[in-house]
Amino acid sequence: MVGMDRWKGKVALVTGASSGIGRATAVMLAKEGMKVAVCARRAERLQQLKKELEAGGAKVLVIPTDLQKEADIHDMWKSVRKEWGGVDVLINNAGLGWGGALVRRTDAEFRQMLEVNVLALTICIREAILDMANRDEGYIINISSMGAHSMRPGNKNVFYGGTKHAVKAITEGVRSELVERQSKTKIGMISPGIVATEIAEVGSRGRTSAAARAGTPLESDDIADIIRFMLSAHPRVQIHDVLVRPSSG
């Protein structure tokens, strides 16, 4: 079956769903008839999202989660398995990054980026593969960055870019593992340029935001549309990496 109909009634887990790309993606998947588990640290925002989606008839599971804590990550997976028996689609969206020259960043900031952008993402990939092992189809989509592919002169997000390079390597390596095992689980990555989300504002630390410098940035819905496109493709198609920039830069 081609299109989103084959995912109706199936389970999606979206990390970092309290705002930005994660929120837009959760809304899209719910509208397409999927059961959606949403996780983030800000429980009140997740509850508001749940209220909005349930008003439209969606089934939503809220799981407040701090992805810097391994115990929280494992509790998140226990919750979705207890409620719905595991996941069919994983959207690894959560991420953080601090802007500014490397020498101005702290040990704690390096650790935060590693824990969320790399370690939590990798644990979630592993757990999703275990859930999807006995399913007819599964899809893992990692939200990466154009920083995974190039470091332009003047780039002030060096360590963040390094974590996204790691995501690129992990995604490619896992894809090879899945192909070797003849698994029905697919894995892909979306590498956006500047998107008008809170991470662009937080990373700028009060300076002129990256989104503003980019002219007209991408919107969160643009990335959600690409996720829909990836999930809608024929089962024989694996869209491995989508690079997307604003048309203005």
Enumerate the β-bridge partners of residue 11. Answer: 35
Tokens at residue 82, please?
Answer: 């207890």
What is the per-residue DSSP string for 80-141? HHHHHSS-SEEEE-------S-GGG--HHHHHHHIIIIIIIHHHHHHHHHHHHTTSS-EEEE
DSSP run (H or E) holding 24: helix 20-31
* Residue indicated by tokens 């198609």: 237
Nearest-10 crossing angle of helices 220-232, 20-31: 40
Catalytic residue among 12, 119, 160, 200: 160
Tokens at residue 241, please?
Answer: 């990496």
Q: Is 139 a catalytic residue?
A: no
What is the per-residue DSSP string for 143-204? E--GGGT---TT-S-HHHHHHHHHHHHHHHHHHHHHHHTT-SEEEEEEEES-BSSHHHHHHH
Give catalytic residue positions. 160
